[in-house]
């Protein structure tokens, strides 16, 4: 083999090795930045959608139903009670910009953790507050966040917010999605009359 041919072969080998290295690294990089999903319930899903979409790193929040016995439930069925579902939100976020722990912080700050089977002016099991972890790690983080709150002695009443493993999530009807953006006047009227902001300030203080 001539020196020139040897040099060309060596260069080709280096390029091949580098290419293989990049092909091995690339999937890890993609997986690390792939969007993730988290699930929560906190009463009216319009309000929880607004709360989470204001968190930096959250890409979108979708209103829907979770933790029930009926497949593809309608709003009328869920709001009437009896299906077991809770009004919920599916939060899609960038893990490189916001952690699941930060989402838990946002969740707690937007619910009344001392009330079961209701949130603010909305009463019934379908309006319960809950965290729906999808993985054992999320379960561990959710339970740790609740334990920290309990040990903080911030509240005189027990924390009754549920932590339940996520099941099928069913998106709500289109007219519910981004309701706070599409119908700002009606949304603000509902939120004010429901006493949501006032109660959150009583529980957590002003933000």
Q: Which residue is catalytic, options 44, 47, 121, 194?
A: 44
Secondary structure class of 61 (helix, strand, coil) = strand
Structure tokens at 97: 């910009």
Which position has the token pair 């009004």? Answer: 87
Q: What's the rounded Cα separation, in Å, for the pair 128 and 66? A: 11
Alpha carbons within 13 A on the beta-carbon side of 59: 13
Q: Are 128 and 42 in contact (CB under 8 A)?
A: no
Q: What's the rounded Cα separation, in Å, for the pair 105 and 149? A: 11
Torsion-angle region of 117 (φ positive above 0: left; ψ -120 to 50: alpha; else: beta): left
**Residue 44 is among the residues annotated as catalytic for this protein:** yes
Structure tokens at 69: 């016995």
| DSSP line for 83-143 | S--EEEEEEEE-TTTS-HHHHHHHHHHTS-TT-SSEETTEESGGG-EEEE-SSHHHHHHHH
Catalytic residues: 44
């Amino acid at each position: 083999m001539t020196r020139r041919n040897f040099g060309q072969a060596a260069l080709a080998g280096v390029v091949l090795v580098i290419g293989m290295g990049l092909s091995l690294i690339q999937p890890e990089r993609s997986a690390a930045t792939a969007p993730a999903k988290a699930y929560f319930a906190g009463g009216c899903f319009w309000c929880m959608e607004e709360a989470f979409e204001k968190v930096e790193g959250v890409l979108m929040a979708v209103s829907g139903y979770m933790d029930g016995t009926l497949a593809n439930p309608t709003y009328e069925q869920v709001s009437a009670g009896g299906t077991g579902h809770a009004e919920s939100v599916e939060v899609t976020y960038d893990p490189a910009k916001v952690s699941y722990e930060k989402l838990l912080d946002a969740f707690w700050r937007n619910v009344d953790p001392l009330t079961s089977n209701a949130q603010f002016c909305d009463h019934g099991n379908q309006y319960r507050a809950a965290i729906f972890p999808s993985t054992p790690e999320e379960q561990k983080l959710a339970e740790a966040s609740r334990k920290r709150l309990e040990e903080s002695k911030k509240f005189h009443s027990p924390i009754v917010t549920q932590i339940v493993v996520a099941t099928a999530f069913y998106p709500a009807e289109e007219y519910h999605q981004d309701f706070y953006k599409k119908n700002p006047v009606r949304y603000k009227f509902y939120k004010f009359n429901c006493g949501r902001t006032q109660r959150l300030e009583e529980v957590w203080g002003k933000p």
